[in-house]
Structure 1
Amino acid sequence: MSPVPEQPKPTRLRPLWLALGFVLTGLGFLGLILPGFPGTVWFILAAAAFAKGDPKWEAWLLSRPVVGQMISDYRAGRGMPLRAKWIACICIVVAVAFSLGRIPVLAGQVVWVLVGLAGVWFIALRTPTKR
């Protein structure tokens, strides 16, 4: 039997953290079914929001079969499987390439490419590879 998490002290921000957690969880589940839309990052952010809003919802999210393992691996510093890193980097490159033409201003295009490069850099070089 798992221990019951402590209830957080009531704050005015608690409902906002909970709402953010639910929105991020929804985006995460969309990422599980939509190709090219990563879900892991949304679940990690949702767990962080739930941790500040209500630990019961955080525990629920961590108990999900696939999702809970991804969040636990990230929190423990175990990183991502190599295949997932490749898929994430390719998705970023494809998303940036397809959306670049829709940005009418050159400065916006440059910023968008830099954001994409930062994402690839973080995943490829800063995120540990899980063996």
Structure 2
Amino acid sequence: MAQAPKLNRNPLIRYALLAIGWLSVALGVIGIFLPVLPTTPFLLLAAACFMRSSERFYLWLTSHPHLGPWIRDYLDGEGIPLKGKIYAISLMWLSIGFSCYLVPLFWARTFMLTSAVLVTLYILRQKTRASL
């Protein structure tokens, strides 16, 4: 399996990470049924938050029969399915494009486009799996 949890000792940070983790799990589960919400990034964020806040929730999430495979394959270095890459990049660029249309500030558009380019490059550099 992947790395062992590295718990944060600050209780305020741990509770914030737990809250973000559970919100990410909720959004990830909704994303399974809602095509405009990506599942994998939210579940990976939840796993990262739980890894630093709760070993119990981290183990629960990574060993969950339905949610675990979304995370384990990525953490074990098996990569991201091609369909997931296309889906994530397409939706990201669609939402960034729409946001750039709505936001007239040059600096905000520059930040959004730079972020989109960097995330796209990161996703493309990840190993590609045949299917989920």
- TM-score, structure 2 length as denominator? 0.81
- Aligned residues of 1:50 and 1:58 also touching (Cα < 8 A): yes
* Distance (Å, rounded) in 1 between the aligned partners of 2:53 and 2:126: 27
- Answer yes or no: is 1:32 the counterpart of 2:20: no
8 Å Cα contact 2:47-2:61 kept in structure 1: yes
C-alpha spacing 1:60/1:100, structure 2 compared with 1 (3 Å): same
Q: Deviations over 1:66-104 (max 9, x none)?
A: 320111111111111111111111111211122211112
Unaligned runs of 5+ in 1: none
What residue in structure 2 maps to residue 118 of structure 1?
118
Q: How does 1:100-111 map to 2 (within 5 A)?
A: 100-111=100-111
2: CA distance between counterparts of 1:89 and 1:57?
Answer: 29
- 1:36 and 1:9 map into 2 onto residues whose CA distance is 33
**Contact 2:17–2:49 (CA<8 Å) still a contact in 1?**
yes
Instruction: Summarize deviations over 1:13-35 as a string: whole Å, max 9, x none.
Output: 43333222112212212222222
Which residue identity is paired with 1:129?
T
Which portions of structure 1, spanning 4 or more consecutive aligned residues, are displaced by more than 6 angstroms? none
Q: Which has the larger radius of gyration?
A: 1
Q: Quick check: 1:40–1:67 contact (8 Å CA) kept in 2?
A: no
Aligned to 2:126: 127
State the superposition RMSD in angstroms: 2.2
In 2, Cα distance between the equivalents of 1:9 and 1:73? 25
Identity across matched positions, percent: 29
1:41-120 alignment runs, 5 A limit: 41-120=41-120
Q: Structure 1 residues 89 and 9, CA, compared in 2 at 3 Å: closer, same or farther? A: closer
The 1:107/1:10 distance shift into structure 2, 3 A limit, reads closer
Change (3 A) 1:102 1:66: same
The alignment partner of 2:110 has SS state of helix
Rounded Cα–Cα distance in structure 2 between residues aligned with 1:11 and 1:116: 32
Q: SS at 1:120's partner residue?
A: helix
- Residues 79 and 128, structure 1, Cα contact 8 Å, conserved in 2: yes
CA distance in 2, matches of 1:79, 1:71: 10
